[in-house]
Amino acid sequence: MSDRRLVTATAALAFVGVGITAYLTYAHYADASIACPTDGCETVRNSSYALLGMLPVALLGLGAYLLILGWLFLPRDYSRPAVFATALAGLAFSTYLLAVQAIEIGAFCTWCLASDVVITVIAALSALAFWTWQADRSGNRGHGP
């Protein structure tokens, strides 16, 4: 996949992530019900794990997706490592939250799961973009890191 397509796909997915997390953040602050096919979304939102300190976890996700979008506007030498690092951090936190839903809460939020998929694909794309960038920099185009 070309670098331009990687960036475009990453940006498109980050916009999807912004939409998901903005909706969940709005629902938190407006104290509105979350449109969800199960009661899992409300169960997760009402758990003690929905907040990190005073901040809703959805707001942290929104910040991460906006940060990824912002990084994409930087030159490649800065954006590739920054997007990759942010995506990995987001993936790690999403994995933790998925485990919390499964083990501690016993319910799953459909919107959260959608965000988990989005950050997973962004992490994969950013890893590919990072690896390609590294190969280009070292002159090993396509021959490993």
Give residue-wise pLDDT tens across range 111-126: 999 999 999 999 999 9
Q: Which domains does the chain have, with CATH numbers?
A: 3-138 (1.20.1440.130)
Q: How far apart are CA 1 and CA 84, in angstroms?
A: 17
pTM (2 decimals)? 0.92
Q: Is the pLDDT score of 142 beyond 60?
A: no
Parallel/antiparallel/unpaired status of strands 51-52 and 55-56: antiparallel
What's residue 122's pLDDT? 98
Residue 13 pLDDT exceeds 70: yes
Q: Is the pLDDT of residue 135 over 90?
A: no
Both structure tokens of 58: 């959805």
Phi, psi (deg, nearest 5) at residue 51: -120, 145
Scanning the structure block, which residue is given the tokens 């475009």? Answer: 8
pLDDT higher than threshold 90 for residue 145 = no
- What is the rounded distance in angstroms from the CA atom of residue 115 to the CA atom of residue 121? 10
